Amino acid sequence: MQQIPEVLLSFVSYKQTIQNRSALTVKQYAGDLEMFFRFVLWQRSGKPMDECDFSAVDEEFVKSVKSGDIYAFLLYLSQQRGDNSRTIARKLSAIKSFFKYHSAKTHIVTENPARDIDAPQIRPALPKYMSLDESVGLLDTVDPASPDYARDYCILTLFLNCGMRLSELVGIDLTDIDSDLSKLRVTGKGSKMRIVYLNESCRDAISAYLPVRSERSSKCRVPLAADSKNALFLSKRNRRISPQTVEWLVYKYIDRAGLGGRGLSTHKLRHTAATLMYNEGGVDVLTLKDILGHEQLSTTQIYTHVSDKKLQSAMDANPLSRRGRKKNVKAEDKSQ
């Protein structure tokens, strides 16, 4: 197994500890940078990328990288791998961040080769989501006779009503929920805490699940793990439910509702919650931004794709919409 270069280790450590990036983001950065450096090694040595000695990427190697190497990599991604603009932009972002770190923080690089390279333009895609009827249908697919009914129904309810991220939902602790079930605290991106207010459906789902959680946990043959005692959602093995398990059960109910094959997922339930609040509930964009825990308003605007019905309602709301055309009385009299 090849050793991860120190120049990459220091960068990802900075991202995770100082900039407080999520583990998933850091993993993506590391993977994108490994691909880039393997590409440069391949170009210079002629060896297949998977056979290149990744550990050879040291300070001197980093200093030798030029803008041309980065442009060649972007061309490779586009023409040989067939990556789309969004994927290419993400990989370029990792490269730019890496060289910015080593030019501004460690000063290994004196001239940043990625500084003036522009990212490809990305057309914002409308997010996939479910309609109100489809959302109700998804909730109805949870079998009340199932021993997991209360838990699974509660999970789907929180996703569809609160627009939580997957990581936020699995991270909920019992102590995060107010005693009157009016609100709970979640930990979002960058370990930022925010308050999520609970509506009637959420309160009912949580209050129905809590006694079931307690009973099943006490009867489970596997003792409740110390690091899971405070977790709201538990697996069948009496541990905090994992993101993978939640993804699996969401896919199961999506298929059961006849919605499979549309690219729906746990994150699309977040899209659905945002869309329903905006299109059906009339929630304004600024409020929606706070509900979803976005830092930038532009991120929220991607979720607020306006339905044709709302566009029509906006036109009808114009106070001039019911003003009729004045008839030409004289002209009408002459025609008679």
15: tokens are: 């991202």
206: tokens are: 């949580």
How far is Cα 102 from Cα 63, in angstroms, rounded to an integer?
10
How far is Cα 108 from Cα 7, in angstroms, rounded to an integer?
9
CA atoms within 13 A on the CB side of 84: 5
Q: Residues 6 or more apart from 142 whose CB is under 8 A from it?
A: 149, 152, 153, 156, 253
CA atoms within 13 A on the CB side of 127: 23
Q: Residues 6 or more apart from 239 whose CB is under 8 A from it?
A: 225, 228, 231
How far is Cα 25 from Cα 18, in angstroms, rounded to an integer?
14
Q: What is the dihedral of CA 168, 171, 172, 176, to 10 degrees?
A: -100
Q: DSSP assignment, residue 240?
A: B
177 three-state secondary structure: strand
Looking at the annotation, which residues are catalytic? 165, 189, 267, 270, 294, 303
Contact 130, 272 (CB under 8 A): yes
How far is Cα 244 from Cα 173, in angstroms, rounded to an integer?
18
Within 10 angstroms of residue 139's Cβ, the number of other Cβ atoms is 16
How far is Cα 25 from Cα 15, in angstroms, rounded to an integer?
9
Alpha helices in 85-192 (DSSP H): 85-104, 132-140, 149-162, 166-170
Q: Residues 6 or more apart from 224 whose CB is under 8 A from it?
A: 217, 234, 238
118 three-state secondary structure: coil
